[in-house]
A and B are shown apart, each in its own frame.
Chain A
Amino acid sequence: MAALSSNLLFSAFILYLIATLFFGGSIKAKKDLNDTKTTNNWGKIAVFLTIVGFISQLGYFITRWIAAGHAPVSNMFEFTTFFGMALVGAFIIIYFIYRTTLLGLFTMPVAILVIAYASMFPRDISPLIPALQSYWLHIHVTTAAIGEAILAISFAAGLIYLVKVIDQTKSNKKTFWLEFVMFGLVTVIGFVAVSSIFAGAGYQEKFNWIDKHGNQAEIEYLMPALTGPHEGELLTKDGFKPLVEMPAIINAKKLNTVIWSFAAGIILYALIRLILRKRIGAALKPLVKNIKLDFVDEISYRSVLIGFPVFTLGALIFAMIWAQEAWSRFWGWDPKEVWALITWLFYAAFMHLRLSKGWHGEKSAWLAVIGFAIIMFNLVAVNLIIAGLHSYAGS
């Protein structure tokens, strides 16, 4: 069952990749389209492949659920994969409301990145600690992820808006920040690339080190250690000698991964720029030629409108119900909870600004991008850096 599950996930991943190519094709071949005919054959194939991929991933989810005996949303790999799946699902729904394949071209790569990122975490089926043995937890986590996924569609639409509206003939703050977003996405590829390469090569090295309480411990690196642990002593023969040693309060191993990812991201980005000979934002511009600005603006806002209630229900209300049962209080100011609140406040501010200050169009698109950044921060940084009750520690 577990093996079948992995295969289904892998096929979904491949299908998403191919679908993305077809989405690209559908935009390129857009010339024969007019007002009454909104999708060409490329687009139809792309959507079909997306749906097949989604069903395949649903198969992964169900088979893994059967194998594990609990809904597979209980560690970093499972949760992030589910988020990727929800993203595809949300896209399919929004697609059938607005029928624009361009949205697919921007959403699918994000979903692919999310799933690739997820796969860098340990994929073993893990048992549930007592606090997690609650169906409310599963309802909470899945609903929250679906809400976040719908909100993420507004990011994809916002990105389309920005690519289209920002003048690439001169460089300024706007072009810089748009490239910054693109660079962020490329860095995720960088992380996936270095992780896979070193994992493929079976790289490891071990250190003895002294933690901040003065205790000796052993730590294993899966990438060559650029930043070594506090008073680290390399145990592995022929291991890479750290370039610098970190003080005990810094998690040298995570920092090392971050540095490697950024290094890879920078190299990849530089390569892309070399090949394109212009900014990524500029290179994407021809793709968005045919879309109307206020149309994407509306898709973006609509996704927020649809996603916000789902997010509130999942990330706050169901979370409170579960917390009341498991920890005896519905709210405890745990970092993960606070970041859900921050996300919620942010989107509330977004909607108020839009409704009453008339922040439509470009401003609204930037806000959608920031919102997505907050969601990603909650998913990545809060889980991995700011420890708390929710952090899937160790995995």
Chain B
Amino acid sequence: MKDVKCECGHVNPHGTVLCEACGKILDEEEKKKQLLDMRYEGSARRSQTYSKTIIDKIWNFFSSVKVGVWLIVITLIASILGTILPQKMYIDLPPEVYYEQEYGWFGKLYYQLGFHDLYGSWWYLLLIAMIGISLVICSLDRVVPLYKALKAQRVTRHEGFLKRQRIFGINTLVNQQDIDIVKERLKQKHYHVREENGDLLAEKGRFSRWGPYVNHVGLIIFLFGGMLRFVPGVYVNENLWVREGETALVPETGEQLYLQNNKFILQHYDKEKNKTFEKALERAGDVVKNYQSNVVLYKRSGEKIPGEKPKLEKVKDYKVRVNHPLTFEGYSIYQSSYRSEMNSMTFNLINKKTEQSFGELTINLQDPKEKYDLGNGYSVKILNYFPDFEFAKNGEPSTKSRVPNNPAFIFRMTAPDKPKGETSFVAIRQTIEPFGDNTYKMAFKGIGTKNVSGFTVRKDSSLWVIIIGGILFMIGVIQGAYWNHRRIWVQHKNGEVWIAAHTNKNWYGLKREIEKVLEDTNLGNPEDQLQSETTDKEGV
């Protein structure tokens, strides 16, 4: 494709509408318009120039702001759908049960359409990806030609260019003094004023034109950072439960970090001590003040030897609270929940008839002993232990898990008068005596509980990418929104002085500024050629 040489001598790329240097109209279509389309300086955008190959077509599709806006609007509507019912991460039942049970046919339909996991669905991700592509292409399509055109612009502009600016005015009888005053005033208003053959171009805030592109780059980096999460190793998100007094390996740390939980603390607000909150507390009942785990973080030292206990070196003591995670080497450990777990059970060995006690024993539910000797010839043996007891399908007692949620035992109780022992099955609120009538009984006395802290272990190496994207986005929007690009041309044409002006936004401000600049000079205020009668007529 050939470049186009303008009569001013500047060589423009193929597809240019307005000469980059002097603004002369190169495209016949544009000449018919009363006002120029100045959005991209009439520069040669790829999407407006080529449309032959498939690549051209894809490029043109994504470079259209119309398409971009549609993508945004569709994403917006899709996002709304996901807020009608709770998403799957906020429910605590299996989704196939939950939605129908809670919301009837509507819930079922919602689930069947996949809206229960809308933001993780392939088509939602596709929408976001398309926005990303659109951002890249759309920005590239405009920013390069715009940059070139603004760089190549000359002070003196073509008549047709000035005449077709939205703000335009002609003055006869002007003396140079007035022009000098205007020039001075423009400088005072922080315009960068260039002069060529007595013609003026005053410009300010050009950098704000890059604002949208900077913010789009920020967005792209942000989206890219979000995608990094799918790369293995970048993102760690694990749950870790640690009982009070125990030390656990922190998952996904290459068996490097260990966490010891010394104590879990749960505090409520006290009406008596916090008089300010008295009324609110009366209304709301118990309000939690603090969830806290006092922990010690250890790091393994030396090589890992299979079968041997790791050597641990203390890293730090910390009080993990909500909003105050423990961070170390990129890992963050959050206080995310807690539960209290049965830890021990205490029984009395009694004679069923006389209720006489022959001793008490406490069973550690994590680590029960095999035999408990109560002295005087009395002892209890644990034949079998089911921490999380249930009857299996075949009717046999079995355990669901190793967590002592519902402990059950088979005891053999030995006494001087029962040297062979008696067998008894004991679960919570339930005793079965498989061989008929026992003399002795394990009478339930009490349970001991222990708190278990629930932590979330998080490592997110993509975070800094996301942070950079966010910062860049903010810089870009502020750049584009809080400043604007203004240009004022004061030029000699046909023995008259023509004034034209352009801004990318905020025309009212520009007009006010021009008024101030031209105050008390012979130069009259230019007209706003767009503010036509119809839009400005008084209300009926």
Chain A interfacial positions (CB closer than 8 Å to B)? 2, 67-69, 122, 124-127, 129-131, 133-134, 163-165, 167-169, 212, 249, 285, 288-289, 292-295, 298, 301-302, 305-306, 308-309, 312-313, 317, 320, 324-330, 332-335, 338-339, 341-342, 345-346, 348-349, 352-353, 355-357, 361, 382, 386-388, 394-395
Contacts and interface: CB of A to CB of B under 8 A. Distances in A.
B474 interface: yes
B72 A348 contact: yes
B538 interface: yes
Given A127-B274, A249-B104, 5 more contacts: A2-B276, A125-B276, A127-B289, A306-B481, A325-B324
A78 to B, nearest CB: 11
B470 A127 contact: no
B76 A306 contact: no
A288 B539 contact: yes
Given A127-B274, A333-B89, A338-B83, A169 B540 contact: yes
Given A130-B288, A301-B505, A292 B536 contact: yes
The residue among A285, A327, A345, A388 with the most chain B CB atoms within 10 A of its own CB is A345
Contacts of B321: 130
Interface string B254-290: 0000000000000001000010110111011001111
Given A289-B538, A328-B336, A342-B76, A124 B87 contact: no
15 contacts: A69-B276, A127-B274, A127-B281, A164-B539, A212-B102, A249-B102, A249-B104, A294-B531, A302-B506, A309-B482, A317-B474, A338-B83, A345-B75, A394-B284, A395-B284
A134 B87 contact: no
Contact of A330 (B83, B288, B466, B506): B466
B456 interface: yes
Contact of A130 (B65, B322, B470): B322
B174 to A, nearest CB: 24
B477 interface: yes
A126 B474 contact: no
B478 interface: yes
A352 B68 contact: yes
A309 B473 CA distance: 9
Given A130-B288, A386-B83, A346 B76 contact: yes
A234 to B, nearest CB: 23
Given A305-B505, A388-B90, A167 B104 contact: no
B514 to A, nearest CB: 15
A9 B458 CA distance: 44
A85 B525 CA distance: 40
The residue among A127, A134, A317 with the most chain B CB atoms within 10 A of its own CB is A127
A309 B76 contact: no
Contacts of A357: 65-66, 69
A258 to B, nearest CB: 18
A130 B289 contact: yes
B535 interface: yes
Nearest to A387: B86
Interface string B498-509: 000000011111
Nearest to A346: B76
B354 interface: no
Given A335-B83, A345-B75, A349-B76, A134 B535 contact: no
A132 to B, nearest CB: 9
B115 interface: no
Contacts of A335: 83
B116 to A, nearest CB: 12
A127 B72 contact: no
Contact of A345 (B72, B84, B325, B456): B72
Contact of A127 (B277, B334, B531): B277
B39 interface: yes
A320 B460 CA distance: 14
A333 B119 contact: yes
Contacts of A341: 79
Interface in B274-330: 274, 276-277, 279-281, 283-284, 287-291, 321-325
Classify the secondary structure of B's interface with A.
helix
Given A124-B279, A129-B287, A134-B323, A298 B539 contact: no
Given A125-B276, A168-B540, A298 B508 contact: yes
A67 B276 contact: yes
A365 to B, nearest CB: 12
B290 A130 contact: yes
Contacts of A338: 79-80, 82-83, 119
A171 B321 CA distance: 61
Contacts of B284: 126, 394-395
B456 A333 contact: no
Interface residues of B, number: 67
Contacts of A348: 72
Contact of B477 (A129, A293, A309): A309
B447 interface: no
Contacts of B288: 129-130
Contact of B506 (A125, A163, A285, A298): A298
A130 B536 contact: no
B103 interface: yes
Given A127-B280, A129-B287, A249 B103 contact: yes
The residue among A130, A169, A317, A330 with the most chain B CB atoms within 10 A of its own CB is A130
B39 A356 contact: yes
A124 B274 contact: no
A295 B511 CA distance: 11
A309 B481 contact: yes
A167 B540 contact: yes
A328 B87 contact: no
Nearest to B478: A309
B488 to A, nearest CB: 18
The residue among A68, A334, A338, A341 with the most chain B CB atoms within 10 A of its own CB is A338
A288 B538 CA distance: 9
Nearest to A305: B481
B73 interface: yes
A293 B535 contact: yes
B65 A352 contact: yes
Contacts of A288: 539
Contacts of A130: 288-291, 321-323
A333 B481 contact: no
Contact of A289 (B79, B466, B539): B539
B247 interface: no
A294 B79 contact: no
A68 B474 CA distance: 33
Closest 9 pairs between A and B when the two form their complex, measured CB to CB: A130-B322, A126-B280, A124-B280, A356-B65, A124-B279, A328-B334, A335-B83, A305-B481, A127-B277
Contacts of B325: 325, 328
A293 to B, nearest CB: 6
A131 B276 contact: no
A355 B470 CA distance: 23
B362 interface: no
Contacts of A345: 72-73, 75-76, 79
Contacts of A127: 269, 274, 277, 280-281, 287, 289
B153 interface: no
B535 A294 contact: yes
Contact of A165 (B65, B481, B539): B539
A138 to B, nearest CB: 12
A122 B369 CA distance: 56
Nearest to B107: A249
Nearest to A131: B322
Given A122-B280, A293-B536, A308 B83 contact: no
Nearest to B484: A305
Contacts of A349: 69, 72-73, 76
Contacts of A212: 102
Contacts of B336: 328
Interface string B57-72: 0000000011011001
Nearest to B84: A386
Interface string B423-462: 0000000000000000000000000000000001010000
